[in-house]
């Protein structure tokens, strides 16, 4: 009888959007394979994004995703994620059963969970789990309770005791370990915290090391300003008339990337000072020297602008981006606003103001100097090294 001794790694992603989670998981898998040949299975919330990222289709499976509903904004991560897991009757049980089948069919030697609390809860204490994420998506599991992320007094989803009881009902039914504290949502064997302290809302409670943030094409280095703006938005923001009109009113040269850009949007910028890029920015080359970075508050772009010493205008849509925007605003290196509240005029005025502010330029440069040691961070390799160590020690 031939025994298959190939090491198998399951990479799971449950919540969040875009391609950032897939890029991290793919990069980690590639670094692992350079040192330790493995078979990889990607269980992804959006399988087609994995294919578009270059992952072979046969290595992709859909992560259990029982509902398209979005949870309401809550004051704590624990409430928000718990509601997402249990948003419909039977949703959490369905999710756990899905992970049960995937894990028992694939029989992984290691599970890497990126913003995948359902997977982490199912596997906790039964399989080796490496949990990865940023300051928002990977709260420290050693906390007793979740502190509020905001002071907005939003409606309460449930007390932590009530939520624990509801989660444990389904965990016990499927044979998973029950939790005693809600922060155990993301408990794992080891952790890869891919962020910087300034963008960690749990820094006061944190025991894990901050590994830094991966910047595609290398981290930018500050240089003498030449002016102009660099902007990055989601594809859907091309349908936001205030964003498009505001960019068109700018009196500075502006490079913007929307992902897959629409021809109609390019036509709207004809005669303006806006150039729509057809390919993603190489931030290490394209960002230094700009007078302002304009974006939605994604961690990668925020960190790139910080390391480049560029002030920022952040128009955010959710709490994770709000926290990153607040960190920049509190440092005096930019301004922020809720995307749904801006008008073309206020948006354009904000960008013009920040681009011309010598005070914000100076503070942004000081912020870059204070975080220069993160410029050479290689979090993907650091996480791959953790994974290799964990598999070799098993």
**pLDDT tens digits, one per residue of 336-351:** 999 999 999 999 999 9
| φ, ψ dihedrals at 19, nearest 5° | -110, 0
What are the tens digits of pLDDT across the range 90-100? 999 999 999 99
Burial class of residue 130 in the structure, from the number of CB atoms within 10 Å of its CB (0-12 exposed, 13-18 middle, 19+ buried): buried
What is the rounded CA–CA span in Å between residue 254 and residue 234? 16
> How many Cα atoms occupy the beta-carbon half-sphere of 151 within 13 Å?
0
Instruction: Give pLDDT, residue 5.
Output: 66
How confident is the model at residue 304, as a pLDDT? 96
Q: What domains are there in the chain, each with its CATH number?
A: 7-214+377-393 (3.40.50.2000), 229-374 (3.40.50.2000)
Q: Looking at residue 117, what is its pLDDT?
A: 97
DSSP state of 210: B
What is the reported pLDDT for 212?
97
Residues 11 and 130: their CA atoms lie apart, in Å, by 9
Weakly modelled stretches of the chain, pLDDT under 70: 1-5
Q: What is the pLDDT of residue 4?
A: 62
Scanning the chain, the segments in alpha helix (DSSP H) are 20-35, 47-52, 77-85, 91-106, 117-123, 160-174, 241-248, 263-268, 283-286, 299-308, 319-330, 344-356, 358-370, 379-393
Q: In what order do the strands lie in the sheet with 334-338?
A: 274-277, 254-257, 229-232, 292-295, 312-316, 334-338
On the CB side of 7, CA atoms within 13 Å amount to 20
């Amino acid at each position: 009888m031939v025994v298959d001794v190939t090491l198998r790694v399951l990479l799971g992603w449950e919540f969040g959007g875009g391609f950032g989670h897939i890029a991290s998981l793919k990069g980690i898998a590639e670094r692992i394979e350079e040192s330790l040949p493995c078979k990889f299975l990607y269980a992804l919330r959006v399988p087609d994004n994995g294919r578009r990222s270059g992952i072979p289709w046969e290595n992709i499976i859909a992560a259990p995703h029982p509902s398209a509903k979005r949870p309401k904004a809550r004051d704590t991560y624990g409430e928000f994620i718990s509601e997402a897991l249990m948003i419909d009757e039977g949703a959490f049980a369905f999710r756990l059963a899905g992970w049960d089948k995937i894990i028992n069919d694939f029989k992984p030697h290691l599970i890497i969970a990126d913003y995948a609390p359902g997977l982490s809860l199912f596997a906790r204490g039964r399989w080796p789990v490496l949990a990865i994420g940023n300051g928002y998506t990977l709260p420290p599991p050693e906390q007793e309770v979740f502190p509020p992320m905001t002071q907005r007094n939003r409606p309460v989803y449930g007390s932590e005791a009530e939520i624990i009881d509801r989660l444990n009902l389904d965990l016990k039914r499927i044979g998973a370990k029950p939790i005693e504290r809600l922060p155990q949502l993301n408990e794992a064997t080891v952790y890869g915290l891919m962020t910087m302290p300034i963008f960690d809302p749990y820094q006061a409670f944190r025991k894990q090391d901050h590994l830094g943030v991966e910047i595609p094409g290398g981290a930018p280095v500050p240089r003498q300003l030449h002016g102009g703006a660099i902007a990055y938005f989601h594809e859907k923001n091309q349908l936001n008339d205030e964003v498009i009109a505001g960019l068109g009113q700018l009196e500075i040269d502006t490079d913007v990337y929307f992902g897959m850009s629409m021809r109609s949007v390019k036509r709207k910028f004809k005669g303006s000072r806006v150039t729509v890029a057809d390919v993603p920015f190489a931030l290490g080359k394209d960002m230094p020297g700009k007078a302002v970075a304009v974006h939605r508050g994604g961690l990668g772009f925020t960190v790139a602008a910080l390391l480049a010493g560029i002030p920022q205008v952040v128009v955010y849509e959710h709490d994770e981006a709000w926290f990153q925007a607040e960190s920049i605003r509190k440092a005096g290196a930019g301004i922020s606003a809720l995307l749904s509240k801006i008008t073309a005029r206020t948006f354009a005025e904000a960008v013009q103001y920040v681009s011309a502010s010598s005070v914000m330029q100076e503070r942004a440069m000081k912020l870059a100097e204070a975080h220069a040691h993160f410029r050479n961070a290689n979090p993907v390799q650091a996480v791959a090294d953790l994974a290799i160590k964990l598999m070799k020690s098993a």
